[in-house]
Amino acid sequence: MNRATHWIGGRPATGSSLMIDVINPATGEVIAQVPDGTPADVDRAVAAARAAFPGWAAVDPAERARIVGRVADGLRARTEEIAATITREMGAPITLSRTAQAGFPVKVAASFAELAAGFAWTERIGDSLVVREPIGVVGAITPWNFPLQQVVSKLAPALLAGDTVVLKPSEIAPLTTPILAEVVAEAGVPAGVFNIVHGTGPAVGAAIAAHPGVDMVSFTGSTRAGRQVSAAASQTVKRVTLELGGKSANVILDDADFPEAVTRGVAMTLTNGGQVCGAWPRMLVPASRQDEAVELAVAAAAAYVVGDPADEATVIGPMASEQHRERVNGYIERGIADGARLVLGGPGRPAGLDTGAYVRPTIFADVAPDAVIAQEEIFGPVLTIIPYTGDDQAVEIANSTAYGLTGAVFGSPDRAMAIARRLRTGQVDVNGGHWNVLAPFGGYKQSGNGREFGRYGLEEYLEIKSIQG
């Protein structure tokens, strides 16, 4: 069995003898262990990062960009290893692991490497020279649903900015970070610039957030945990960026291409087993066409084969853990109890899958906008179809949750764009718009603050100095 270590000062580092089991959610098998880190381990990592900071910050941005580009190349070369690892540790189907779990980090790192040349590191404003400088030591705390993607989305801009990093990966899906550490070292990143401390949120995450030697915390995870990170970080008035929960709405207008809108909406709800913060779990449809939407959604969901994530035919694997399976199943039971109309799936495991953290893809119709399953983040393969009457009510329902991360509108172009502008959310896809790695990503309201990707993401990791004269 694989026993991982921390990575501090450019090499493996041991800590406490206590270990955390990493479990394959498809089988319940313990496949690895990582250290149960402590605040003392965080102290060592922060010290290494602070020692490495002056030298790394002094490297020319063009050279830092070349190094980030080599990180992208190194990750690309290990696609199959990364994909297989993520499939085993958190249950993503192997085809998705190749294209998204392993593929997206490469695109993100490459995009930052290419961004550097045109970025305004300095600019003149009247008689002032405005200089963008690295912020210092960045504490990165990342989740399990896209375990490498979320790390690289923080690491790439931090490295390009000239910052050093202390990472706490999720203890549920931590096994790609040793691969990343090797890739980073091989790319020419100096020792101490990138450090990894494994462990739990209450121990390691809290220590990073509160640490006086950490200048910025970038956190992705639940809104509840984000509040705790913010509170801990406030004691040292460090910068905090948060990418938190979502309950995004897919608004389908009455003049939309219904088969396209519903089918794409189902895909954006069920991909990765619904364990996507930017998923569209609320499908808003004209009340007069709800039955049509239900028929299309059920037909589309039937193609999503649930099973062994290592099987090439599988589209939905298990939830990332048994604990999360129970949580999602509880929401399905709550939807039934509250009177939503169950049209597909339901509680319990799919037929033939008596073990493993599997959930049945589930669709509810006639869901009240204020129902628990329409307001709280389920983070599983559960679609809620909500009928509306008129564009104004659709916008009101879409904006009615505490979240505002992503969303979608399908309809005639001008009308759909007008609705998109009214949605209180950080990103909206109109008629199937695709992910743009250079466009900003982040939330309104309790979906967080700050932005990732492109120029906007890089700027989060920089301080701004004004020199007069």
Where in the sequence numbering do the catalytic residues fall? Answer: 243
Pairing mode, if any, of strands 282-286 and 341-344? unpaired
Single-letter code of the amino acid located at 303: A
Sign of dihedral through CA atoms 343, 223, 95, 323?
A: negative
- Dist. CA 410–CA 252, nearest whole Å: 5
Per DSSP (E only), the strands in 146-275 are 164-168, 194-196, 216-220, 239-243, 249-252
- Dist. CA 462–CA 469, nearest whole Å: 22
**Which DSSP letter does residue 247 get?**
-
Pairing mode, if any, of strands 429-430 and 407-410? parallel
Single-letter code of the amino acid located at 82: I
Single-letter code of the amino acid located at 258: F
- Dist. CA 125–CA 105, nearest whole Å: 36
Give the number of other CB atoms < 10 A from CB of residue 392: 11
- Dist. CA 373–CA 332, nearest whole Å: 8
- Dist. CA 332–CA 384, nearest whole Å: 10
- Dist. CA 165–CA 91, nearest whole Å: 28
The two three-digit tokens of residue 313, written as one number: 């035919």
- Dist. CA 107–CA 84, nearest whole Å: 19
Beta bridge partners of 131: 122, 465
Single-letter code of the amino acid located at 240: V
Name 110's Cβ contacts closer than 8 Å, sequence gap at least 6: 69, 72
Show the DSSP H helices in 146-201 as ranges.
Answer: 147-161, 177-186
Name 104's Cβ contacts closer than 8 Å, sequence gap at least 6: 146, 149
Beta bridge partners of 34: 20
Contact of 25 with 322, CB cutoff 8 Å: yes
In the chain, helix, strand, coil percent, each to 5?
A: 40, 20, 35
- Dist. CA 158–CA 109, nearest whole Å: 11
